[in-house]
Amino acid sequence: MNPIFDLTWLVPLPPAVACALIILVTNRNKSLSSVIAIAGVAVSLVIGWAVAFSAFVDHDLAHHPVNATLFSIPTGLTDIDVGYALDPANALMLFMVPFLLVMIFVYARGYMTFPHHLKAADFPEAHAEGKDPRYSRFMAYISLFAVGMLGLVTSNNLITFFVFWEIMGLCSYLLIGFWFEKESAKKAAFKAFVTTRIGDALLFIGMMVLYIVSEPSSLSFADLFSEDNLYELGRTYANLGFREVTWVSIITFLILCGTIGKSAQFPLHVWLPDAMEGPTPVSAMIHAATMVSAGVFLLIRMYPLFDRALHLTSTSTYLVAGVGAFTALFAATIAMAQWDVKRVLAYSTISQLGYMVAALGIGAYVAALFHLLTHAFFKALLFLGSGSVIHGMEHGHEHAHAHGHDSGADEHASGLIQRPDGSLDPNDPQDMRNMGGLLRKMPVTGWTFIIGGLALSGFPIITAGFWSKDEILAVAFEENSLVFLALAIAAFCTAFYTMRQMALTFFNRGRTEAADHASESTRSMTLPLILISFFAITLGWIGIPAAFPVLGPIGNNWLGHFLEPFMEVIHIHVLHPEFNVVPLLVSVAVALGGLGLGWLVYGKGLPPGETDPMYRAMGPIWQIFHRKYFVDELYDATVVRLSNFVSSFCASIDARWIIDPLVNLVGKAGVWLSALAAAADHLLVDGLVNLTANFMRWCGGVLTHLQDGKVQAYLVIAMMVLGIWVVLVGMPIVLTLV
- Binding interface with another protein (CB under 8 A): 703-712, 715-716, 719
The DSSP line for 419-462 is: -TT--B-TT-TTBGGG---HHHH-HHHHHHHHHHHHHHHT-TTT
Q: 318-347 burial, b if ≥16 CB within 10 A, otherwise e?
A: bbbbbbbbbbbbbbbbbbbbbbbbbbbbbb
Cβ-based nearer residue to another protein, 239 or 707: 707
Q: Is 442 in contact with 518 (CB distance < 8 Å)? A: yes
Kindly state the smallest distance separating residue 720's Cβ from another protein, in Å.
11
- Give the nearest distance from C-beta 704 to another protein in angstroms: 4
The residues facing 157 across adjacent strands are 220
- Residue 732 CB, nearest distance to another protein (Å)? 22
Cα 174 to chain centroid distance, Å, stands at 10
At 329, the amino acid letter reads: L
Nearest-angstrom CA–CA distance, 38 and 109: 9
Q: In which region does residue 204 sit, left (phi positive, over 0), alpha (psi from -120 to 50) or beta (all else)?
A: alpha
| Amino acid letter for position 76 | G
Minimum CB separation of residue 731 from another protein in Å reads 17
Q: Are 154 and 9 in contact (CB under 8 A)?
A: yes
Name which of 57 and 703 has its Cβ closer to another protein.
Answer: 703
Residue 709 CB, nearest approach to another protein (Å) = 3
Q: Report in angstroms how near the CB of residue 722 gets to another protein at its nearest.
A: 11
Give the other-Cβ count within 10 Å of 730's Cβ. 13
431: which strand partners? 340
CB of 212 or CB of 737, closer to another protein: 737
What is the distance between the alpha carbons of residues 532 and 591, in angstroms, rounded to a whole number? 22
Cα dihedral 191/193/196/202 (nearest 10): -120
Q: Of the two residues 243 and 705, which places its CB atom closer to another protein in the complex? A: 705
Residue 212 or residue 711: which is nearer to another protein going by CB? 711
Comparison of 672 and 695: residue with beta carbon closer to another protein:
695
CB of 712 to another protein, least distance (A): 6
CB of 688 to another protein, least distance (A): 27
| Cβ(569)–Cβ(470) below 8 Å | no
Nearest to 172 by CA among 275, 91, 241, 243: 275
- Contact 179/277 with Cβ under 8 angstroms? yes
Residue 313 or 707: which CB sits closer to another protein? 707
Helices (H), 214-340: 221-224, 227-235, 247-262, 271-274, 280-284, 291-301, 303-311, 315-335
Nearest approach, Cβ of 718 to another protein (angstroms)? 10
Output the smallest distance, CB 716 to another protein, in A: 6
DSSP state of 636: I
Helix (H, G, I), strand (E, B) or coil at 718: helix
- The answer to whether 372 and 266 have CB atoms below 8 angstroms apart is no
State the nearest-atom distance from the C-beta of 707 to another protein, in Å.
4
Beta carbon nearer to another protein, 3 or 701: 701
> How far apart are the C-alpha atoms of 90 and 396, rounded to whole Å?
43
SS3 155: strand
CA gap 292, 195 in Å, rounded: 13
How far apart are CB 700 and another protein at their closest, in Å?
9
Q: Which is nearer to another protein, 208 or 720 (CB)?
A: 720
Contact 248, 237 (CB under 8 A): no
Judged by DSSP in three states, 179 sits in coil
What distance lies between CA 715 and its chain's CA centroid?
95
Please identify, using beta-carbon distances, which residue of 679 and 726 lies nearer to another protein.
726
Closer to another protein by Cβ: residue 77 or 738: 738
Beta bridge partners of 481: none
- Dihedral of alpha carbons 488, 489, 494, 495, sign: positive
**Shortest Cβ 713–another protein spacing (Å):** 9
Of 676 and 717, the one with the shorter C-beta distance to another protein is 717
Return the number of the residue (119 or 705) whose C-beta is nearest another protein: 705
